[in-house]
Chain A
Amino acid sequence: MRLVLRDITKRFGSVVANDRISLTVEPGEIHCLLGENGAGKSTLMNVLYGLYHADEGEIEIDGEVRRFVGPGDAMAAGIGMVHQHFMLIPVFTVAENVMLGNESTTGPLGRLDLESARERVTEISERFGFHVNPDALVEDLPVGVQQRVEIIKALSRDAELLVFDEPTAVLTPQETDELMGIMRQLKESGKAIVFITHKLREVREVADRITVIRLGKVVGEAEPTATNAELASMMVGRPVELVVDKGEGSFGDDALVVDNLRVIDQTGHVHVDGLSFTIRAGEVLAVAGVQGNGQTELTEALMGLQDHVTGSIKLNGKELVGRSTRKVLDADVGFIPEDRQVDGLVGEFTIAENLMLNRSFEMPFVRHGGLRIGTLREFAEDKLAEYDVRARDIDTLAGNLSGGNQQKVVVARELSRDLDLLVAAQPTRGVDVGSIEFIHKQIVATRDAGVPVLLVSTELDEVVALADRIMVLYRGRIVGIVPADTPREKLGLMMTGERPKDVVA
């Protein structure tokens, strides 16, 4: 299928998400859409998929202009989408998910024809070597397999063009490699592929053509032979430092000592099991691992946000297990939560109000239960400038800021106290490259000031860039704690639970 998008414009209110974007995708090619978070890639694809309606422009398939009112039309035209957040129903089986919206029935009672759906799944699964059991419940499958179910879903509707929207965000390096293989295989069978990503490494590996989008506009095309630096500067619009400038650390005594930590949820699932590690003053311990391997529960246990925690967490000799979150904060622990929208900020509060959320009990912002507005405003003005938060003023609602600026507000709040420990979970997720650079510098500065840092990240690049030591988690257990210069391949292997023979658990 040959797809041409011509001058697509999509506005949300006064924001122009797509500004006259044109794009051509040929059959049998992998076309990469490269751009930062918020550049408008997903909006464009949602227009193509019929989820949004373009304000201007047209979609042409094999020389014919088409109008899609809903995803049903796009699917009928042969467009399939592998969504970033899988569009699968967790309590349905694979076969039920694949047949949904496209069901065949048998008999006079209109009984669902599950048998033919099963066969279809098995047939496609075998053709591409997916190994997916049609009767498995989707919620029981690993993320990588769920993604294959999404691909099967699209293929079972005879999709000729497949859109992959940030497909590698949730995958291990190994699973990513497998996905790249699948994409090449699809390409060879004549499918057209649109691959949306912001990861330069992946682009250069599989792309036949690259289109770079910035702030809703196409800024140019690039060859797969372009260097990382070239692609990055096209994406951001200025030269970017991809490597964090980080000197030798000077490490003090063991500051955080975690011993045999175990976290259980209300239903009895063990999420973290037998974790023991230490972080020295002035050291960054980076926790690597695929999302959902106990990282969230580990940070929440540190912050007193989990109910069933056993073992011990000692910060400078003081026990943190069993303390309330407020008491943990009182022990001078800073926390950058992994989801700023849910746990980091109150979207309906102003920047200034958000900046005092962790100090709402005492001086300098509160006296005798009353807010000291003047002090707060002064403080907020300072932080706005210091942390380069791009906002009209301190009274802007946090919810109206871009992802990068929201995260800077969180970082500003957490780092503006004297810390004894910084827990940073996914500090740069969904943040533009410019802000990543800034936040990384702040974390390194914190470390250089002698504060122990626990960094959790699913981005291997970030882990390698910031870590002094790397701890790899798999299924809630430590695979190994290794030096920062460990090769990526080895780290990738460890993230799948394999412990290389020279690594001590």
Chain B
Amino acid sequence: MSTTADTPATVPDELGQVAVVSRKTPILLAVLVVGLALVLLFSDSVGETTFRVASRNDLFQIPDITVPGRATAWVMLAGCALLTGESFRRLLNQQKTPLWLVATYALLWMTAFLSWAAIGGRVPVVGLFGGAVALAVPLVFGALGGVLGERAGVVNIAIEAQLLFGAFAAAVVASSTGSAWAGVLAAALAGVLVASVLGLFAIGYFVDQIIVGVVLNVLVIGLTNFFFRQVLTPNAETLNSPERLSAVPIPLLGQIPLIGPVLFRQTPLVYLLYVTVAVVAFALYRTRWGLRVRAVGEHPKAADTVGIKVNRTRWRTVLLAGAVAGLGGAYFSLVAVSGFNREMTGGAGFIALAAVIFGKWDPVRATLAALLFGFASNLQGVLSVIGSPVPSQFMLMLPYLVTILAVAGLVGRSRPPAADGQPYRSQ
């Protein structure tokens, strides 16, 4: 080691960063390839699969695509295997698997799976995606409510309760007033009502937010079950037979092949959803209100010292989040079916919560995550209609399986708002 130099030496300013690349992604990809390959090997269905892309009222008709089922599946799966190899190669070079790779893989794998599962039948591509958007509606509303609350520092486990109570209120109000829109408004108010209980305990009395949320879920299940049996069932005619919200195609946009029927031949609730996503994303990142909400969720004390009323901001945000989540409830009793039924949300609130995390507390990403979960739900429905060889019980599990895989396997490191879940007491 040299002893003296002419100029003072300097210790390097930055320390290295050793890349920590998760092995989860390539392994997951490999498992999915092997799984589907085994299924293909051991099944004996032969025939052709038709993908139907067109729908009525399109500007022009795209012809159906008919392919030999098994062969297509194998080709697509080979593509998946190649991508998996690339993912492993990157792992060895300490690189992350890029999103485009995962997306391409997902597309190929889905095509392979559908080519096999729908052998001898027709895959309605429009129905598959359009239904996914529709099914994702409550998930997206719920996830947006979750994002808003958590960005302000209040964890909302009670999204499920807000959806369920929203569904209940929508059915009752829409039936008794005869207006579906009144039902939608009532759903939002029901969400606010649940949120106000959450706020009272979580913000006002510093109770653990997880516990309040869980209790609220159970409470709302109990309440709605009680009123359903005691009040709604005997008076089904007047209180539980709402007018359904029907699809309203948007002229021109709705006639674009594939995109039109998927995105623009939906119910008004879906259009309201588009607006809500855009407004929430803009407001959260580009307005004074959003800056303050995020400040309160990251470092409430700092917000307090610049004169922001922390708990007032949290209260407002939680109530707003409740309204957004409640809107999602209207989907169940005004769109999916006509009328309320006990526990009809079936855990959608928890999937929405997963979408919040999978979407890294960002409204747009959470929306995409919710759409993915919606797709998984719809796939299940579509396949059972085609009559695929996959057992239906397994398919029913699919949305939840995708949720677990997504949150545990693919989400990577995500950072919640720093003060998420922590009550704030000012002196």
Contacts of A49 in B (CB 8 A): 305
Is there an interface contact between A497 and B13, defined as CB atoms closer than 8 Å?
yes
- Cβ contacts under 8 Å, A81 to chain B: 305
User: Digit string of B271-298 for contact with A (CB within 8 Å is 1, else 0)?
Assistant: 0000000000010001111111011001
Please tell me which one of the listed residues A52, A70, A109, A268 contacts residue B18 in the complex, with CB atoms under 8 A apart.
A268
Binds A, one of B1-9, B208-216, B252-260: B1-9
* B346 beta carbon closer than 8 Å to chain A: no
In the docked arrangement, what's the CA distance between A268 and B306, Å?
35
Given A96-B291, A103-B288: A497 in contact with B18 (beta carbons within 8 A): no
Is B251 part of the contact surface with A, judged by Cβ < 8 Å?
Answer: no
Chain A hits for B5, CB < 8 A: 501
For the complex, give the distance between the alpha carbons of A72 and B3 in Å.
57
Taking a contact as CB atoms under 8 Å apart, the answer to whether A51 and B427 are in contact is yes
Contacts of A479 in B (CB 8 A): 11
Instruction: Tell me the bound Cα distance from A476 to B17 in angstroms.
Output: 12
A386 contacts B by Cβ under 8 Å: no
Q: Describe A's contact surface by its main secondary structure.
A: loop
Restricting to B1-30, which residues have a CB under 8 Å from any CB of A?
1, 3-20
Cβ-closest chain B residue relative to A157: B306
Q: Which B residues lie within 8 Å of A101 (CB)? A: 292, 303, 306-308
- Picked from A73, A105, A153, A505, the residue with its CB within 8 Å of the CB of B9 is A505
Say which residue of A46, A153, A266, A499 sits within 8 Å of B8 (CB atoms): A499
* Stretch binding the partner chain, chosen from A87-95, A321-329, A351-359, A375-383: A87-95
* Option from A89, A266, A502 in Cβ contact (under 8 Å) with B298: A89
Measured in the bound complex, the distance between the Cα atoms of B284 and A96 in whole Å is 13
CB neighbors of A among B292-341 (8 A): 292, 294-295, 298-299, 301-309
Contact B19 A268 (CB under 8 A): yes
CA distance A348 to B349 in the complex (A): 38
- Pick out which of these stretches binds chain B: A29-37, A269-277, A298-306: A269-277
Complex formed: what's the CA distance from A70 to B301 in Å?
A: 12
Whether A102 is near chain B, meaning CB under 8 Å from some CB there, is: yes
Q: Does any Cβ of A come within 8 Å of B56's Cβ? A: no
Task: Verify if B185 is at the interface (C-beta below 8 Å from A).
Answer: no
Q: Is the C-beta of B364 less than 8 angstroms from some C-beta in chain A?
A: no
Name the A residues within 8 Å of B287 (CB-CB). 105, 109-112
In the complex, A412 Cα to B291 Cα: how many Å? 48
Min CB distance, A115 to chain B, in Å? 13
Rounded to whole Å, the gap between the CB of B314 and the closest CB of chain A is 15
Contact, CB under 8 Å: A501 / B6: yes
Q: Which of B18, B290, B299 contacts A87 (CB 8 A)?
A: B299
Q: Which residues of B contact A90 (CB under 8 A)?
A: 298-299, 418
State A288–B289 Cα separation when bound (angstroms). 44
Please state if B282 and A100 are interface contacts (CB–CB under 8 Å). no
* CA–CA, A220 and B14, complex, Å: 47
Known contacts: A92-B295, A270-B17, A505-B1. The answer to whether A51 contacts B11 by CB under 8 A is no
Q: Given A91-B298, A268-B20, A71–B8 Cβ distance below 8 Å?
A: no
Contact flags B44-59 to A (C-beta < 8 A → 1, else 0): 0000000000000000
Interface string of A139-154 (1 = CB under 8 A from B): 0000000000000010
Q: Are A504 and B3 in contact (CB-based, < 8 A)?
A: yes
Main secondary structure of the interface of B (DSSP, over half): loop
A200 interface contact, C-beta 8 A: no
Closest-CB distance, B101 to chain A (whole angstroms): 21
Question: A14 at the A/B interface (Cβ < 8 Å)?
Answer: no
* Closest chain A CB from B333 CB (angstroms): 34
In the complex, what's the smallest C-beta–C-beta distance from A259 to chain B, in angstroms? 15
Cα A92 to Cα B413 in complex, Å, equals 19
Which residues from chain B contact A46 at a C-beta distance below 8 Å? 427
A residues in contact with B307, CB < 8 Å: 70-73, 75, 101-102
Q: A96-B291, A103-B288, A110-B287 are in contact. Are A476 and B305 (CB under 8 A)?
A: no
- How far apart are B4's CB and chain A's nearest CB, in angstroms? 5
A residues 486-505 in Cβ contact with B at 8 Å? 497-502, 504-505
How far apart sit A25 and B294, CA to CA, in the bound complex (Å)?
36
Bound together, the chains give a CA A105 to CA B292 distance in angstroms of 13
A499 pairs with B291, CB closer than 8 A:
no
For the complex formed, measure the closest distance between the CB of B285 and the CB atoms of chain A, giving whole angstroms.
Answer: 9
Flag whether A83 is at the interface (Cβ < 8 A): yes
Q: Is the CB of A502 within 8 A of B4?
A: yes
| Cross-chain contact B15 with A273 (CB below 8 angstroms) | yes
Query: Chain B nearest CB: distance from A406 CB in Å?
Result: 22
Are A51 and B305 interface neighbours, CB within 8 A? yes
Tell which of A71, A112, A266 touches B20, judged by Cβ atoms closer than 8 Å: A266
Q: Are B292 and A100 in contact (CB under 8 A)?
A: yes
User: How close is B367's CB to chain A, nearest CB, in angstroms?
Assistant: 20
Q: Report the bound CA distance from A100 to B298 in whole Å.
A: 13
With the chains together, A102 CA to B291 CA distance in Å?
Answer: 11
A-B contact pairs, 14 of them (CB 8 A): A49-B305, A70-B307, A71-B307, A87-B299, A89-B294, A100-B292, A103-B288, A109-B286, A110-B288, A267-B413, A270-B18, A477-B15, A497-B13, A500-B8
Smallest CB-CB A-B distances: 5 pairs: A72-B307, A101-B306, A268-B20, A87-B302, A497-B11
Using CB atoms and an 8 Å cutoff, list the residues of chain B in contact with chain A.
1, 3-20, 282, 286-292, 294-295, 298-299, 301-309, 413, 418, 426-427
- 17 additional A-B pairs beyond A270-B16, A474-B11, beta carbons within 8 Å, are A49-B305, A52-B427, A71-B304, A89-B295, A89-B299, A92-B295, A99-B291, A102-B307, A110-B289, A266-B20, A268-B17, A270-B18, A273-B16, A498-B9, A498-B11, A501-B9, A504-B3
Which residues in A have some Cβ–Cβ distance to B below 8 Å? Answer: 46, 49, 51-52, 70-73, 75, 81, 83, 86-92, 96, 99-103, 105, 109-112, 153, 264, 266-271, 273, 474-477, 479, 497-502, 504-505
